[in-house]
Amino acid sequence: MQNFLEKLDDLADIKNENALARMLERVAFIFMILMFVSAPHSIAATQIAWLTGMFAWFIR
């Protein structure tokens, strides 16, 4: 799991020292990817992914 998180941090260019901020940036990035994947299939899923990602980004 640690290796996956390190690869995700490299992909999203996450370099925060604070663990909470790092986790929230990961959540926002994952929901951004989910938004792009679900866009052609479901408007509701796209909106939920966008709102959740924006909420995580706002909290960060």
The two three-digit tokens of residue 34, written as one number:
């989910």
**Residue 16 pLDDT:** 78
**Residue 52 pLDDT:** 94
Mean pLDDT per block of 10 residues along the chain (60 residues) reads: 81 82 89 92 94 92
**Residue 54 pLDDT:** 94
- Domain range for 8: 2-59
Nearest Cα neighbor of 5 from 31, 26, 36 is 26
**Residue 40 pLDDT:** 92
Q: Kindly report the backbone phi and psi dihedral angles of residue 17, in degrees, each rounded to the nearest multiple of 5, phi listed first.
A: -85, -35
**Residue 42 pLDDT:** 92
Number of domains in the chain: 1
Q: Which pTM value belongs to this model?
A: 0.81
